[in-house]
Structure 1
Amino acid sequence: MLFNSLSFALFFPVVLFLYWIFARNSLRLQNIILLISSLYFYACWDYRFVFLLIFSIALDYYTGLKMGSSEIPRVRKFWLVLSIAINLSLLGVLKYYNFFAESFAEGLSLLGLSVNPHTLNLVLPVGISFYTFHGLSYVIDIYKNRIKPERDLVDYAVFVSFFPLLVAGPIERATHLLPQIQKKRVFSYAQASDGLRQILWGLFKKIVIADNCAELANLAFNNHEAYGGSTLLLGAFFFAMQIYGDFSGYSDIALGVARIMGIELLRNFSYPYFSRDIAEFWRRWHISLSSWFRDYVYFPLGGSRGSIWLKVRNTFIIFLLSGFWHGANWTFLAWGALNAIYFLPLLLSKSNRENLDIVAKGRLLPTVSDVVHMLVTFTMTVFAWILFRAENIRHAFEYISEIFSASLFTAPELVRKDLLLLIAGFFILEWLGREHPYAIARFGFNWPKPVKWGFYYCLVIAIFVFTGKQQQFIYFQF
């Protein structure tokens, strides 16, 4: 069930009616409705996946209780290791087994040994990487005594399976979401209207920007041998816009849907394409995943403390894991390694935390230095996205090599002037709203009502006018 589908447009109002009208006086009933709605939402993808989700919920709920009932360190560690091992084993088999089997066979073939790997014909459960990380953070936080185990199974199950974030994040923490699930929620018109604005902006990002860019990006990447370097460079730019509009659009819709229900989810994007260096980019892109790896992997490894060797090791571990989290393909590992190479000079020169505030804060225009740094960072990011989008390493190298050929200086094909104008307008709105949680959060608040509502209607009209071929959200595959 896609957020931008008719089925969700029918599903969500029914949930809201039951949640705010039928169960308005009962927190327990509200949470039960959330749980049933979330399981139904997930079953719409494939009902078989629901059983795996329920198993994951039960596993971490039970191990959390067992850790909470003991003060003996080795007993607590046993239950922690058991939960992590089972969770990662399921994720490994379903998502990575075929990759390892095929890579092992290819490695042996280089030694002259012929092996036919046994692969599994498995369908990857949608969102498994997201809800697995929900559960892992929960049990690790209990082990570290950051939280107490949740004894109410319904409340815990809602934390893991809450439908706005279930299939593509953000990756929530129990310390942030569980208290909201346990607290009485009262309908707020201001909160609901803000949620609707964020949903509108998310739909604009997804349908108008991402889906239209996807058509041209797919043409470039799927037929790279037919185009020159300038066209392929433009295709890489379109993919950069596609993945940002697609994923941040999903996050905006998820946050807006949750806000209408009185729940605030973690922010997942903060204008990453206005970053002045790669370190800033990773503080603003997929924030919930970056912070998850930082808190549960990078810091326990020692972070940026210790010798230069340890700093380099930890940086590569965190970026390679981030790449591998995205999928079982060498391209994702290469993408992660390239970002580690980008990041290391900043870390080793201790300049990775120079740009903590949003660019040109309190000013309309950036400085020349800011513009140069943003353009360089954006160019590096677009180049890295080629590895992310390519089918395999060979495809990536062929694509890149054609860009850096004489054809780079020819006139590009696949030019859609209307789309380029839309992207330009999109960047202007993002820039004007960059100090707010999302671009149109406060946009036009001081305008006369007819003008302000006219702006909203323009966004709605654009969504209908520029609706193209519906594209599945990219991060559903992860």
Structure 2
Amino acid sequence: MVFSSLIFLYWFLPVTIAIYYVSPRAVRNVILLLASLVFYAWGEPIYIGIMIFSTLFDYTNGLLIDKYRSRKKLARFIFISSIAVNLGILGFFKYYGFLIENINSLLGLHIPITSLPLPVGISFYTFQTMSYVVDVYLNKYPVQRNLIAFGTYVTMFPQLVAGPIVQYGDIAKQLKDRPMTLDKFGSGAELFIRGLAKKVLLANNIGLLWTSVHQTPMAELTVLSAWLGIVAFTFQIYFDFSGYSDMARGLGKMFGFDFKENFNYPYVSRSVTEFWRRWHISLGSWFREYVYIPLGGNRGGIKLQLRNLMIVWFLTGFWHGASWNFIVWGLYFGLFVTMEKLFLLRWLQQLPRILAHVYTLMIVMIGWVIFEMGSLSSAFSYIQTMFGMGNHSLSNEASWYGLSTNLFLLIILALCATPYPRKLMMWLQSKFRVVDFAIPVMYLGFLMVSTAYLVNETYNPFLYFRF
């Protein structure tokens, strides 16, 4: 089940909200836990056992670490065992096929590979349970003794399958007591509908253009169509993922929770470093907190710092998927972040803002080619086409048709990827009181138009479900 589906919007969510709010506060975590299990089991009932095991396993590990804290070696053994089992489960389902495939290739073996469907959201909830165990082991937060509260934290359906990655410390107090007001519910509903509109009206529509270009044989691509395609994907992945994050945060508010922002207009960045401070913020925070800093962070001199950065970026790429193109994608961005730390950032700060912005967008779009193409060879071929290398014409009738029919949508996407529409709305609210009454009507319109699209559209992917 996905948020941008009619069954979620008009059956699952209203029923869950109704039961949640008519129930006493003392049992609302139980309601949310049961609803989350139904949500997860809806599409993949066979894998719900893995999530329940992870929940019970790390809940128990937290209790054991707290109980045996004075016996440091035993507590360390429990901690290491917990991390090893969590990574083992994630590695088996996500990287088993990739590992065997590469062993076969390197050693000339023929070990059979069993195709395993990836449990939805396993990368996200595994990181959440691991962060909890780490925080308890380091005594950063008190152990959670209430199994229902811990289960709610792990399985909470608003952020279960695609984040944002919620660290335990961010909502530990909210699991016990959280304010639920009409204003908070209303702001959550607005945020949810805004995310739904970004996903359905923007990401899905521009995604059709990228799908058309992606399915075109490489030999038939023109320079214009290659650029048009990757610009389309650049917008699609942003509005798809940030839209889903907005929906998750909006749902969280509707149930009384406050999740941290996951996107902050990344395409306005003027450096790759800034881009990654604005893109998928919860993932960057997790790697900084649980990998980069424990490795030594900025301490120990520049060589160790650069080593730590490249380890983090290797893991960032590998987290996204079991494929060499994801690893190269991570190291590619790690290289630019490293160069910016060493010298490039100083140069960029001296450039006109527009040039620094163009540099960043170029690096990001080339990165998206590596990220999205099925193999490194096809990614490099696509990049060559973008820059006119090989036997590719500059344009043809089909590429100009694609540009002309999507030009207005591309302009809308470019504007909506900046904070200017939001600033304009805030300015109008400060000047004209009637805008306050018009906003609910606007959001109702977004919901109605999005629903109409979902009724008629068969194209409704969600890109981050595969991670």
Structure 2 length normalisation: TM-score?
Answer: 0.91
Kept after mapping to 2: 8 A contact 1:269/1:285: yes
Partner of 1:364: none
Cα shift at 1:127: 0.3
| Larger helix share, 1 or 2 | 2
Q: Distance in 2 between matches of 1:56 and 1:443?
A: 47
Kept after mapping to 1: 8 A contact 2:317/2:329: yes
Q: Distance in 1 between matches of 2:127 and 2:429?
A: 38
Q: Distance in 2 between matches of 1:245 and 1:130?
A: 19
* Structure 1 stretches of 4+ moved >6 Å: none
Residue identity matched to 2:215: N
Kept after mapping to 1: 8 A contact 2:298/2:305: yes
Residue identity matched to 1:247: F
Cα pair distance change 1:383/1:184, threshold 3 Å: closer
Equivalent residue in structure 1 for 2:110, among 109, 116, 119: 116
Partner of 2:466: 477
Equivalent residue in structure 1 for 2:360, among 377, 399, 411: 377
Residue identity matched to 1:431: T
Cα pair distance change 1:59/1:433, threshold 3 Å: farther
Partner SS state of residue 43, structure 2:
coil
Cα shift at 1:222: 2.7
Partner of 2:51: 53
Cα pair distance change 1:451/1:226, threshold 3 Å: same
Q: Distance in 1 between matches of 2:419 and 2:178?
A: 36
Equivalent residue in structure 1 for 2:418, among 431, 434, 441: 431
Matched, 1:325 2:319: yes
Structure 1 length normalisation: TM-score?
Answer: 0.89
Partner SS state of residue 159, structure 2:
coil
Kept after mapping to 1: 8 A contact 2:194/2:443: no
Cα shift at 1:458: 5.2
Cα shift at 1:466: 5.7
Unaligned runs of 5+ residues in structure 2 are none
Partner SS state of residue 76, structure 2:
helix
Kept after mapping to 1: 8 A contact 2:415/2:421: no
Cα pair distance change 1:324/1:434, threshold 3 Å: farther
Deviation string for 1:402-448 (max 9, x for gaps)?
22226474353462545432332243344345888xx97x4753441
How well do the aligned residues superpose, as a CA RMSD in angstroms? 2.3
Partner of 2:429: 445
Q: Distance in 2 between matches of 1:456 and 1:177?
A: 28
Kept after mapping to 2: 8 A contact 1:31/1:155: yes
Q: In terms of mean alpha carbon deviation, does 114-123 or 461-470 score higher?
A: 461-470
Q: Distance in 2 between matches of 1:378 and 1:2?
A: 30
Q: Distance in 1 between matches of 2:118 and 2:336?
A: 31
Partner of 2:375: 392
Equivalent residue in structure 2 for 1:420, among 407, 414, 422: 407
Kept after mapping to 1: 8 A contact 2:228/2:403: no
Cα pair distance change 1:464/1:39, threshold 3 Å: closer
Q: Distance in 1 between matches of 2:444 and 2:409?
A: 16
Q: Distance in 1 between matches of 2:87 and 2:193?
A: 36
Partner of 2:62: 64
Cα shift at 1:83: 0.5
Cα shift at 1:370: 2.4
Residue identity matched to 2:82: S
Residue identity matched to 2:188: G
Partner SS state of residue 230, structure 2:
helix
Alignment of 1:188-267 (within 5 A): 188-223=181-216, 224-267=218-261
Matched, 1:183 2:177: yes
Partner SS state of residue 164, structure 1:
helix
The total of aligned residue pairs comes to 454
Identical residues among aligned pairs (%): 34
Cα shift at 1:462: 5.0
Equivalent residue in structure 1 for 2:343, among 333, 346, 349: 349
Partner SS state of residue 300, structure 1:
helix
Equivalent residue in structure 1 for 2:295, among 296, 301, 311: 301
Partner of 2:141: 147
Kept after mapping to 2: 8 A contact 1:134/1:171: yes
Q: In terms of mean alpha carbon deviation, does 10-19 or 460-469 score higher?
A: 460-469
Q: Distance in 2 between matches of 1:418 and 1:204?
A: 21
Cα shift at 1:254: 0.5
Q: Distance in 1 between matches of 2:284 and 2:85?
A: 23
Deviation string for 1:255-305 (max 9, x for gaps)?
011111111112111111111101111111000011100110011111133
Equivalent residue in structure 2 for 1:38, among 30, 36, 39: 36
